[in-house]
Amino acid sequence: MRYVEVEPGRVWLSDGPPQAVLGRGQVRVRVEACGLCASDAHMARGMRLPRGVSYPVRPGHEVAGTVLEVGPGTPALSPGVEVVLHPLDPCGHCTACLAGREEQCPTARVLGIHEPGGMADEVVWPAHRMVVATGIPSWEAALLPDAVATAHHAVRMAELPATGKLCVIGAGGVGSHALELAIAIHPHLRVAAVVRSQASAERLWSARIPVEVGLEGSAERLRARFGRFDAVIDFSGAREAAAEGIRMLEVGGRLVLGSIVDEPIDLGTTVTGVVTRSLRIAGCYVSTLEDLREVVALAQSGRIKLGPAVSHRIPLSDAPRAFALLEDRPPGLRRMVLEP
């Protein structure tokens, strides 16, 4: 079988035997589509890998595929079933796992980092980390495990009232899924977005979503149009996003931060400003299996449309070109999926 390997500055396709025998609870999946995201680019550029992992790495954590073979102890799945894979395999018995925060499991194995990933013809992964995704085109389903499930996690953390108001800062990639999910789950919600590019703005305008272009001063402009928001979700990772978001919030509001940025946080207010307005600030880190189940159901029922988010479908054999595109970021690039 073919699989992609990366090391700092290099991406290539290899050929080798698949895992011969499946262990208990394992399932062999024929990869139909595997998404590429910024974290893959980061890995190919060279990053500090988690303990016990070394280059070359076999990437691919956004997998949609078809079950080929099931190992012992996997009664729920059978060959031919279409699935998506949750990229984390948590231990299931640590404090975080038992508290329902499996995304914080310190010994979780990550597909495409700790274990050979899905930029390959086949992948092996535990059955209990798969969700049946019948009826969703695989190149769309590949968006569900990471970008869409993470957006769902953020929407959940925003604890939106059914008729409340949500602002999403950075509604290009994951943020645009957060907007769409929030509207799908709460049809009477009022939403607005803040984006950086004119292209993102036009896309949202065409979906009749009110948009502000440019973060600076956006809180003030949005306040004039909408008043204050019950929740603000930031996926822009911009330095001023937290402060601008805090300015948008209603008393008791939630600021959900979803970008990983190694910068000190500037809330643009005083401790009093947070305390007396009873504000909450939450970090949203990846997603849980439950998030994946819910977004699969939303996609199956047609309440979210994933197709328009995919700009490039690239054959697996062209993986190096796909990684190069991810670096160049040509105009019109949204999400890319590799298809074996």
Helices and strands, number each (H, E), in the chain: 11, 17
- What span, in angstroms and rounded, lies between the C-alpha atoms of 331 and 334? 9
Q: Does 110 bind Zn ion (CB under 5 A)?
A: no
91 binds Zn ion (CB under 5 A): yes
- Here's the x/- map for Zn ion, 255-294, by CB under 5 A: it reads as ----------------------------------------
Q: Is residue 90 close enough to count as binding Zn ion by CB under 5 A?
A: yes
CB of 147 to Zn ion, least distance (A): 6
Least distance in angstroms from the C-beta of 31 to Zn ion? 15
Q: Applying CB under 5 A, does 146 fall inside the site for Zn ion?
A: yes
User: 210: how many CB neighbours lie within 10 A of its CB?
Assistant: 14
From candidates 33, 85, 105, 215, binder to Zn ion by CB under 5 A: 105
With a CB cutoff of 8 Å and minimum separation 6, the contacts of 307 are 137, 140
Q: Which amino acid is located at 139 in the chain? A: W
- What are the phi and psi torsion angles at 153 (to 5°)? -60, -45
User: Looking only at residues 6 through 45 of this chain, which bind Zn ion when binding is defined by CB under 5 A?
Assistant: 37
Residues 6+ apart with CB under 8 A from 95: none
Which C-beta is closer to Zn ion: that of 105 or that of 193? 105
Residue 112 Cβ vs Zn ion, minimum distance, rounded to whole Å? 8
Nearest to residue 1, comparing CAs of 26, 30, 32, 36? 30
173 binds Zn ion per the rule CB under 5 A: no
Q: Which of 27, 29, 57, 97 binds Zn ion (CB under 5 A)?
A: 97
Longest dimension (CA), the chain: 63
Q: Is 94 in the site for Zn ion (CB under 5 A)?
A: yes
Q: Which is nearer to Zn ion, 143 or 255 (CB)?
A: 143
User: Mapping DSSP to helix (H, G, I), strand (E, B) and coil, where does residue 254 land?
Assistant: strand
Q: How far is the CB of 49 from Zn ion (least distance, A)?
A: 16
Choose the stretch contacting Zn ion; rule: CB under 5 A; options: 91-99, 216-224, 282-290, 297-305: 91-99
Residues pairing with 191 in the sheet: 166
Output the smallest distance, CB 98 to Zn ion, in A: 8
In sequence order, the 6+-apart residues with CB closer than 8 A to the CB of 228 are: 165, 248, 249, 250, 251, 253
Q: Is 65 in the site for Zn ion (CB under 5 A)?
A: no
- CA–CA dist 66, 33 (Å, integer): 10
| Total site size for Zn ion, rule CB under 5 A | 7
Q: Residues in the site for Zn ion, rule: CB under 5 A?
A: 37, 90-91, 94, 97, 105, 146
